[in-house]
Amino acid sequence: MADLDVRALDGILALSTLVTEDLERFEQRHGLSTARVHLLWQLGTAGPATQRSLADALRVSPRNVTGLVDALVDSGHVTREPHPTDRRAVVVTLTDAGRRFVAQLQKSHRNLARTLFGAVPEPRLAAFVDVLDETTRTFARLMEEA
């Protein structure tokens, strides 16, 4: 049996893989890819945005955002609107269909959380979240230093 810390890391990755696969099935049922769903999720949580700010938020190139927005305009999930004051920029906005999709995704996310952790007693789950939070903060700090 591997060390406890390696088992913890492998466990995180295994569970994350299962969750990701579940998300991909959700995406496929809606005919959307992970990259496009990321963009929709970003719009859903942060509101309408220029392509430049989307590129920064998603940490991809502006050229990449052009392609993703093209596809999402074609599929009817977003629209390009003129920026009110900067005529170089466009504002990408969710359509009704886009908002419905994001709402379904959020609901699916909550359902998954309940399915996964609903049976874990509250004190154990609270301790679990604590370890997760501490570890994430520690790691983020270490990565900034390096």
Partner DNA sequence: TATTGTTATACTCTATAACTATA
Partner DNA sequence: TATAGTTATAGAGTATAACAATA
What residues line the site for DNA (CB under 7 A)? 33-36, 50-53, 55, 59-69, 71, 80, 83, 85-90
User: Quick one: what does residue 57 bind among DNA, its own copies, none, with the CB cut-off 5 to 8 Å set by partner type?
Assistant: none
Would you say 13 or 46 has its CB closer to its own copies?
A: 13
Q: How far is the CB of 18 from its own copies (least distance, A)?
A: 5
Residue 37: exposure state from Cβ atoms within 10 A (0-12, 13-18, ≥19):
buried
Six-digit token string for 83: 């920026």
With CB under 5 to 8 Å by kind, the binding choice for 88 among its own copies, DNA, none is DNA
Which region, left, alpha or beta, applies to residue 31 given φ > 0 means left and ψ of -120 to 50 means alpha? left
Written as one letter, the residue type at 106 is: Q
Distances (CA, A) of 63 to 32, 70, 75, 91: 19, 11, 19, 15
Question: Which residues are near its own copies by CB under 8 A?
Answer: 3-9, 11-16, 18-19, 21-22, 109-110, 112-120, 122, 124-129, 131-136, 138-140, 142-143
